Amino acid sequence: MTLRRLPENIVNQIAAGEVVERPASAVKELVENAIDAGATKIDVVMREGGRTLITVTDNGRGMNAAELELCFERHATSKLPDDDLVHIQNLGFRGEAIPSIASVSRMTITSRNDGDENAWTLSVEGGRKGTLEPVGAPQGTRVEVRDIFFATPARLKFLKTVRSEFGAALDVIRRLAMAYPAIAFTLADEKRVALRVNSAQGDMFEAWLDRLGAIMGRDFADNSIKIDAERDGVKLSGYAGVPTFNRGNATMQFMFVNGRPVRDKLFTGAVRGAYMDLLARDRHPLLALFLDVPADHVDVNVHPAKAEVRFRDAGGVRGLIVGGLRHALAEQGHRASSTISGQALGAFQAQSMPLPFQSRVQNADHGQWREGAGGGMTHGLADQAYAYQAPLSSPGQPQAPGSPLSPEQHGQVQELQAYPLGAARSQLHETYIVSQTTSGLILVDQHAAHERLVMERMKKQLAEKDVARQILLLPEVVELDEVAANRIAERAEELSEMGLVLEPFGIGAIVVRETPAMLGECNIKGLVQDLADDLGELDTALALKDRLDDVCATMACHGSVRAGRRLNIDEMNALLREMEVTPHSGQCNHGRPTYVELQLSDIEKLFGRR
Ligand SMILES: Nc1ncnc2c1ncn2[C@@H]1O[C@H](COP(=O)(O)OP(=O)(O)OP(=O)(O)O)[C@@H](O)[C@H]1O
Ligand SMILES: [Mg+2]
């Protein structure tokens, strides 16, 4: 075999193997070029999943005749004006995309530069260039890619279904659209426009939220928190969903570095860390985070399609993400997701109650309703309703639902209902607290809420190295299997710092002498057993401190006000007030909500009054 220099077209086809894997990658390159050209509107059309035709039309600065000739040449780029590979300002810089795509397809570019009187068009087929011709066209660039991979049939065989290729392109455009909210985008196939987002206005965060809502769903916009943090010149911005607004997979997590969508393990790990004790392991938050990193802190030149980046200080970036998210989530305090009350309302509406006056309620106004109700209600029902009006209870005692208030109680309700979680009015089924706010009502799951409060209290006490313990009158012996007992015994010292004092008691048993005071009376056997399970999952080299959240969660779970405990009004109000000032109290340790809120307007809808 003779050593030889490869012909240009083969070189381009090899490069295409890396850069243009499928139609969606061609779409990515062409849309990135349009963004780099300063376009404010970018329209993409794909036929048969991009296989027969891709067109990308933009209103950017365009190219003149000489530039149009040159852009098909390998390593021709306008984006590295001073050979500086560090301070890269654009999405592109390699000068590879167009020649690569052109080498495997039939490509036509029509472009009109700012100042030019007419546009120019040039076609290249399987790498062979045609002639430059003047045409009429508006300012900007239109790139047409026909029969992609016709010149490399092997690649063609690997294409998936039309739907999946189109879906991949949709994903690419969505990600770019999130990073560039000021640009309007459309993506269409032969039948319909699959994505249309208009240019978002307002300040940077408003525009982002608007665009993220358009792409990730309105619910995301309503249930996310603004993230705005900075450390050592690296900026983290964006929006992160509240924990109760979660998904079964991580596909709704988006990360951008200097305007470039990236997929990075560092990022997924940091997000998991930040939400660790707020969500069950198999649930994932939704978020879109934008990192702004000084150019010399990051290398984008590690991946041919630039989908990965390398950070100079990966630990610092990770810390910024975890810290920024934790901080923002803690500030949210008790907030839970608004979609939950929507689901609750849906459930209410699904049941139609067979009451005699129901049909009238639906299309009658308020006045007629009373008349109808009175007329329709049998004596028996009215008597029962009357019997419900229990005698006035003393202050501090739960109200029977619907009972009148003394002036003093009325004043208290008036005052307390201005708080976010309102004034406690009643307890139902010894499990749920009903509270009244100025604009609606709130239902709190007392067990879930209390569990969260205990956990947060415990973390705080631990941080202050001040865990109160209570000595058991009778030390409790817990039988475990031998491995579990040893695991617990090895951690005895660490556990005692957390308020749990125990020691080995022969083979396969543990004796517990003191427990954390805040747990109150707890199921010691259950607690020790669960802790042993936790420790089994924990790397032996890891200190309990590093898994504090997990351990605290397990403890809190055993110490909580279980469902079924009767609370008086003052206790209920105390719980609500504590929730309001406790970080993360909108969800229990498993990511379920601790309360739902129904607005009066929603309730009115239920009764057809709106
Ligand atoms: N839509 C467009 N509008 C204006 N100029 C464009 C457009 N698309 C390409 N160009 C010009 O053609 C050049 C080559 O584009 P190409 O995508 O091949 O390389 P690049 O964007 O410079 O780098 P990369 O290979 O990393 O994408 C660009 O540098 C730019 O000057
Ligand atoms: Mg490019």
Q: Mapped to the 3 state alphabet, what secondary structure does 318-378 carry?
A: HHHHHHHHHHHHHHHCCCCCHHHHHHHHHHHHHCCCCCCCHHHHHHCCHHHHHHHHHHHCC
The atom of ligand 1 lying closest to the CA of 60 is 3
pLDDT at 396 over 60: no
Q: What is the pLDDT of residue 535?
A: 82
Ligand 1 pocket check for 441: Cβ under 6 Å: no
The residue count of the chain comes to: 610
The CA dihedral of 382, 387, 393, 398, to the nearest 10 degrees, is -80
Ligand nearest to the CA of 62: 1
The atom of ligand 1 lying closest to the CA of 77 is 29
Ligand 1 pocket check for 37: Cβ under 6 Å: yes
| Cα→Cα distances 406→389, 398, 568, 569, Å | 14, 13, 16, 14
Q: What is the pLDDT of residue 381?
A: 38
* Residue pLDDT, tens place only, 468-490: 888 888 888 998 888 888 889 98
196-202 average pLDDT score: 93
163 CA distance to ligand 1 middle (Å): 28
Give residue 123's pLDDT band: very low, low, confident or very high (50, 70, 90): very high
Q: What is the pLDDT of residue 303?
A: 76
Sheet holding 287-292, edge to edge: 224-231, 234-241, 287-292, 253-257, 260-262
Comparing CA positions, the residue from 488, 506, 508 lying closest to residue 496 is 488
324-335 average pLDDT score: 82
Strands 224-231 and 234-241: antiparallel
Ligand 1 pocket check for 26: Cβ under 6 Å: no
Hey, how many other C-beta atoms are within 10 angstroms of the C-beta on 260?
21
Choose the weakest-confidence range: 104-118, 294-308, 314-328.
294-308
Residue 533 parent element (H or E): helix 524-537
350-372 average pLDDT score: 33
Joined tokens for residue 80: 């590295």
Q: What is the pLDDT of residue 390?
A: 30
Ligand 1 pocket check for 74: Cβ under 6 Å: no
The atom of ligand 1 lying closest to the CA of 62 is 4
Give residue 334's pLDDT band: very low, low, confident or very high (50, 70, 90): low
* Residue pLDDT, tens place only, 256-312: 999 999 988 889 889 988 988 788 777 889 999 999 999 888 888 777 777 788 888
Q: Where are the beta strands (DSSP E) in 499-564?
A: 501-504, 509-516
Report how far residue 289's alpha carbon sits from residue 227's, in angstroms, rounded to the nearest whole number.
Answer: 8
| Cα→Cα distances 198→195, 202, 213, 562, Å | 10, 13, 12, 50
Joined tokens for residue 118: 């007419």
- Select the more confidently predicted residue: 244 or 385: 244
Beta bridge pairs of residue 595:
444
Q: Are 30 and 143 in contact (CB under 8 A)?
A: yes
Q: Give 177-182 contacts, CB < 8 A, sequence gap 24+.
A: 177/211, 177/215, 178/208, 178/211, 178/212, 178/215, 178/254, 178/256, 178/261, 178/288, 179/256, 179/259, 179/260, 179/261, 179/290, 180/35, 180/259, 181/207, 181/208, 181/210, 181/211, 182/40, 182/207
- Both ends of the chain: CA-CA distance in Å? 83
* Residue pLDDT, tens place only, 504-517: 988 888 999 998 88
Ligand 1 pocket check for 213: Cβ under 6 Å: no
pLDDT at 368 over 60: no
Give residue 360's pLDDT band: very low, low, confident or very high (50, 70, 90): very low
What is the pLDDT of the chain when averaged over all its residues? 83
Dihedral pair phi/psi, residue 511, rounded to 5°: -115, 130
Comparing CA positions, the residue from 548, 514, 550, 515 lying closest to residue 533 is 550
94 CA distance to ligand 1 middle (Å): 9
Give residue 450's pLDDT band: very low, low, confident or very high (50, 70, 90): confident
Report the percent of the chain where pLDDT is more than 70: 86
69-78 average pLDDT score: 92
DSSP alpha helix (H) spans, 20-77: 23-36, 65-71
Protein residue closest via CA to atom 21 of ligand 1 = 92
Dihedral pair phi/psi, residue 145, rounded to 5°: -120, 110
Joined tokens for residue 368: 């007629």
Report the percent of the chain where pLDDT is more than 90: 38
Report how far residue 423's alpha carbon sits from residue 572's, in angstroms, rounded to the nearest whole number.
Answer: 9
**Interhelix angle 23-36/162-179, nearest 10 degrees:** 20
Report how far residue 441's alpha carbon sits from residue 130's, in angstroms, rounded to the nearest whole number.
Answer: 71
* Residue pLDDT, tens place only, 562-608: 556 788 888 899 889 888 888 888 887 777 788 888 888 888 877 77
Q: What residues contact 534, with CB distance under 8 A and at least 6 apart?
A: 547, 550, 551, 554
12-33 average pLDDT score: 90
Give residue 158's pLDDT band: very low, low, confident or very high (50, 70, 90): confident
Q: What is the pLDDT of residue 388?
A: 31
Ligand 1 pocket check for 141: Cβ under 6 Å: yes
Choose the weakest-confidence range: 85-89, 169-173, 325-329, 342-346.
342-346
pLDDT at 189 over 50: yes
Q: Are 187 and 193 in contact (CB under 8 A)?
A: yes
Dmax (CA) of the chain: 106
Comparing CA positions, the residue from 374, 350, 234, 210 lying closest to residue 288 is 210
* Residue pLDDT, tens place only, 140-151: 999 999 999 998
The atom of ligand 1 lying closest to the CA of 80 is 22
Residue 204 parent element (H or E): helix 204-216
Secondary structure class of 575 (helix, strand, coil): helix
Comparing CA positions, the residue from 13, 30, 19 lying closest to residue 305 is 19
Comparing CA positions, the residue from 202, 201, 196 lying closest to residue 215 is 196
Residue 495 parent element (H or E): helix 492-497
Sign of the Cα pseudo-torsion (179, 180, 184, 189, in order): negative
- Select the more confidently predicted residue: 172 or 498: 172
240 CA distance to ligand 2 middle (Å): 30
Report how far residue 524's alpha carbon sits from residue 559's, in angstroms, rounded to the nearest whole number.
Answer: 9
Q: What is the pLDDT of residue 379?
A: 37
Strands 287-292 and 224-231: unpaired
The atom of ligand 1 lying closest to the CA of 98 is 18
Ligand 1 pocket check for 29: Cβ under 6 Å: yes
Protein residue closest via CA to atom 8 of ligand 1 = 33
Ligand nearest to the CA of 301: 1
Ligand nearest to the CA of 143: 1
7 CA distance to ligand 2 middle (Å): 22
Q: What is the pLDDT of residue 378?
A: 35
204 CA distance to ligand 2 middle (Å): 25
Give residue 86's pLDDT band: very low, low, confident or very high (50, 70, 90): confident
Protein residue closest via CA to atom 10 of ligand 1 = 33
pLDDT at 411 over 90: no
